[in-house]
């Protein structure tokens, strides 16, 4: 992993870069390693240290974040970078000192403190929760079991090489102690695993039933000016997809959406719909398109020249709208 410094490099005197550790941990929240590798490389090439990131334009950072989801993380990433840069460009070295920084919670503070600064902080992510639930045969369901699992993690966190221990536990959960079909025969903790001894390793951790997600509906308006410029708007900083560039649209609600086009024009609904699932709800969007005159004055949003438009810089749901609309424009 491009953000890791392995034990051999550590022995040679190389230390983990707190900036890279922090950036990777923020990116990896609710996201897979495979999805993070390329964005991490792009970020560190464009902004190689926290001072460079702090000086970046908000829109450029949000565009690079596109596809990683949970866009509040990107806004907090900038706030945190600017707070660190303002205090001299060095990250605090303890969990307690890291916690007040924007966007840094208990897990991220512990991970940065342990991995970058060798503080014996207790690091527990979803993979580690699974390892602990099986190792100690914790039968209480998640999320109620989390305090117990954290206490168990604290008991076994070593004072020596706590960062290597934390990363080893995360890797164990990601590669061997997996959610389905754990490879118990390969596990170095097999002799001590209470769940394996009881024959229930694959059943743990138990999880409380999740409530059914509601379905919300909305309308997205894709306006293409005759010179090729596209009509876009930047979403408010606060809220879902905050600060991201996207198509103007209606509110997303469980009731029937109200059509309020962002500009005067011959808007037409195109066949099909966009479906997307967020953490707390499913979304279905109908898409309306229009070719707009050169003198159009939009009520919402602004035109972006075609040459400057990059669909890849938009959130996934907005890219889905683009793909559906592009097919419709190609046919007319």
Closest alpha carbon to 325 in 298, 294, 286, 292: 286
Q: How far out from the chain centre does Cα 64 lie?
A: 12
C-alpha span between 77 and 73 (Å, rounded): 6
C-alpha span between 139 and 144 (Å, rounded): 11
Judge whether 254 counts as a catalytic residue: no
C-alpha span between 128 and 131 (Å, rounded): 5
Alpha helices (runs of H) in 118-261, residue ranges in sequence order = 126-135, 146-156, 162-175, 194-198
**Catalytic residue among 14, 25, 96, 269, which?**
25
Q: At 205, is the secondary structure helix, strand, or coil? A: coil
**Length of the chain as a residue count:** 332
φ, ψ of residue 49 to 5 degrees: the values are -150, 175
Place of tokens 């303890």: 94
Q: How many CB atoms lie within 10 A of CB 159?
A: 9
Closest alpha carbon to 46 in 32, 62, 64: 64
195: Cβ contacts below 8 Å, ≥ 6 apart: 133, 134, 135, 136, 137, 201, 203, 204
Structure tokens, 5? 């410094």
φ, ψ of residue 296 to 5 degrees: the values are -65, 135
CA distances from 203 to 132, 181, 190, 222, 253 (A): 13, 10, 16, 47, 37
Q: Which contiguous run of DSSP H or E holds residue 317?
A: helix 316-331
Catalytic residues: 25
């Amino acid at each position: 992993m491009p953000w890791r410094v392995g034990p051999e490099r550590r022995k040679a005197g190389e230390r983990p870069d707190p900036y890279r550790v922090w950036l990777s941990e923020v990116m990896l929240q609710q996201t897979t390693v495979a999805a993070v590798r390329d964005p991490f490389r792009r970020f560190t090439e464009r902004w190689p240290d926290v001072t460079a990131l702090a000086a970046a334009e908000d829109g450029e950072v949000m565009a690079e974040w596109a596809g990683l989801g949970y866009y509040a993380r990107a806004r907090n990433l900038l706030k945190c970078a600017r707070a660190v840069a303002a205090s001299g460009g060095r990250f605090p070295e303890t969990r307690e000192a890291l916690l007040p920084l924007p966007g840094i919670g208990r897990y991220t503070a512990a991970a940065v403190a342990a991995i970058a600064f060798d503080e014996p902080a207790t690091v527990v992510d979803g993979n580690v929760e699974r390892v602990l639930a099986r190792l100690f045969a914790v039968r209480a369901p998640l999320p109620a079991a989390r305090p117990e699992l954290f206490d168990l993690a604290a008991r076994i966190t070593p004072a020596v090489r706590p960062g290597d221990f934390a990363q080893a536990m995360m890797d164990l959960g990601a590669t061997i102690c997996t959610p389905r079909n754990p490879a118990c025969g390969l596990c170095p903790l097999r002799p001590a695993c209470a769940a394996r001894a009881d024959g229930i390793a694959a059943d743990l951790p138990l999880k409380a039933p999740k409530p059914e997600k509601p379905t919300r509906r909305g309308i997205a308006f894709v306006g293409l000016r005759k010179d090729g410029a596209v009509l876009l708007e930047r979403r408010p900083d606060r809220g879902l997809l905050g600060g991201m560039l996207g198509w103007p649209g209606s509110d997303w609600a469980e009731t029937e959406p109200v059509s309020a086009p962002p500009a005067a024009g011959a808007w037409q609904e195109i066949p099909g719909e966009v479906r997307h699932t967020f953490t707390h709800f499913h979304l279905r969007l109908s898409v309306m398109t229009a070719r707009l005159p050169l003198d159009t004055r939009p009520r919402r949003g602004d035109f972006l020249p075609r040459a400057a438009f990059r669909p890849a810089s938009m959130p996934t749901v907005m890219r889905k709208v683009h793909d559906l609309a592009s097919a419709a424009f190609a046919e007319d």
